[in-house]
Amino acid sequence: MQQLPRWLAVALIGVCTSTFPQTKEVTFAYQDMLVPLRTVIDSGELEKTTGYKINWRQFGGGGDVIRAMSSGDVQLGEAGSSPIAAAASQGQDVRLFWILDDIADAEALVVRNGSGINGWKDLKGHKVATPFVSTSHYQLLVGLKAAGVDARDVNVVNLRPQEIAAAWERGDIDGAFVWDPALAKIKANGKVIATSGDIGRAGHPTFDGLVVNARWAADNEAFLVALVKAVAHADDAYRKDAAKWTADSAPVKAIAKWSKADPKDVPAAIALYRFPTLQQQISPTWLGGGAAKALGNTAQFLKEQGRVQEVKPDYAAFVTDVYARKALQR
């Protein structure tokens, strides 16, 4: 039997003092980002302490996650700021309740060596892949606009991360804007033109978040508080001992297992993200106001690009800090 990491065992003490039969069930949609949350999934302790049966289902992108939530197949999951903004703009009753990561430099536009592409303007006439409605897609469009390149002059194709890696291997695409583990694979014989950090510092920051169906959330508050506590402690464990998260360490192996990544690529990839603390989560930078503002700005850009039809006057209604605040109190 796999031994539960001490940090997670401590994190979950007090969330629930006894083990319950699994009478409640939830489907959680996760992606292949390399984040500490994967260690929570791997441990299985959240199921034991909450009594919920959790169906962890992997999806290829945030757009897929949002569509699954809209259909009712998924109650909560991971999505980037761009698909969250699109979902809110379309009136989907979701709540952003946790900043999974500040993407920072963790996503990038990479072009194939020998393609003759040296900058944004050189993308004209070339095939560039990205998962549509993702943060990478949003950043690609922002970068093209900033460089004065009409997106219609670039052959932008919709591929999921694993499909991007395969298409790159076949030589079907000239470039891609994506995240790890696919990013590490294409970097092997490509060069970085721009990162998400470059675009964020220019005024278009992006993040990944945890979103939940609002009605389901109202009936399952204790579970969401327990989830927040567990993820917060996983992030803390990484921040405190990042140097020990090496390719042969248990946390990195867990992340690689659930994200289908090569363990040797995980330490460098995870270091590109920033993981806000519980206190930072509820601050004006994130759930206390900044995230809603970022969603609004993203939605406005998406409307200009014809990706959404309406921009809400205020996106604060789609963001909540209630579970993070209650996690701090327990």
Domain CATH number, residue 52? 3.40.190.10
* Same domain, yes or no: 183 and 302: no
pLDDT of 42 strictly over 80: yes
Of 139, 166, 201, which residue constitutes the final position of a domain?
201
Dist CA 229 CA 258 (whole Å): 20
Per-residue model confidence as pLDDT tens digits over 257-309: 999 999 999 999 999 999 999 999 999 999 999 999 999 999 999 999 898 99
Dist CA 124 CA 101 (whole Å): 32
State mean pLDDT over 75-91: 97
Of 201, 232, 254, which residue constitutes the final position of a domain?
201
Number of structural domains (the chain) is 2
17 located within any domain: no
* Same domain, yes or no: 318 and 265: yes
- Is 282 within 8 Å of 329 (Cβ atoms)? no
The token pair at 99 is 């900043």
* Same domain, yes or no: 223 and 82: yes
134 located within any domain: yes
Start-to-end Cα distance in the chain:
29
Of 201, 227, 242, which residue constitutes the final position of a domain?
201
19 located within any domain: no
pLDDT of residue 46: 97
| Residue numbers of the domain that contains 155 | 107-201
* Same domain, yes or no: 217 and 318: yes
Dist CA 232 CA 47 (whole Å): 17
- Is 74 within 8 Å of 261 (Cβ atoms)? no
13 located within any domain: no
* Same domain, yes or no: 150 and 122: yes
Q: What is the pTM of this model?
A: 0.88
Per-residue model confidence as pLDDT tens digits over 164-199: 999 999 999 999 999 999 999 999 999 999 999 999
Cβ burial of 30 (10 Å; 0-12, 13-18, 19+) is buried
157 located within any domain: yes
| Residue 330 pLDDT class (50, 70, 90 cuts) | confident
State mean pLDDT over 70-81: 96
DSSP letters, 205-248, are: --EEEEEEEHHHHHH-HHHHHHHHHHHHHHHHHHHHSGGG--TT
Coil, strand or helix at 15: coil
140 located within any domain: yes
pLDDT of residue 203: 87
9 located within any domain: no
* Same domain, yes or no: 276 and 234: yes
Q: State the residue for tokens 């964020």.
A: 200
| Residue 320 pLDDT class (50, 70, 90 cuts) | very high
* Same domain, yes or no: 96 and 212: yes
Closest CA to 77 of 227, 285, 275, 263: 227
Dist CA 17 CA 15 (whole Å): 7
246 located within any domain: yes
* Same domain, yes or no: 211 and 272: yes
* Same domain, yes or no: 112 and 166: yes
**Beta-sheet strands, E only, within the chain:** 24-30, 52-58, 76-80, 94-102, 107-112, 127-130, 155-158, 175-179, 190-195, 207-213
* Same domain, yes or no: 133 and 280: no
Which has the minimum average pLDDT: 4-13, 105-114, 180-189, 245-254? 4-13
* Same domain, yes or no: 235 and 304: yes
Tally of CB atoms within 10 A around 322: 16
* Same domain, yes or no: 223 and 74: yes
Lay out the sheet containing 127-130: strands in order across: 155-158, 127-130, 175-179, 107-112, 190-195
Q: What is the DSSP letter of 2?
A: P
Long-range contacts: 244-247, Cβ < 8 Å, 24+?
Answer: 245/270
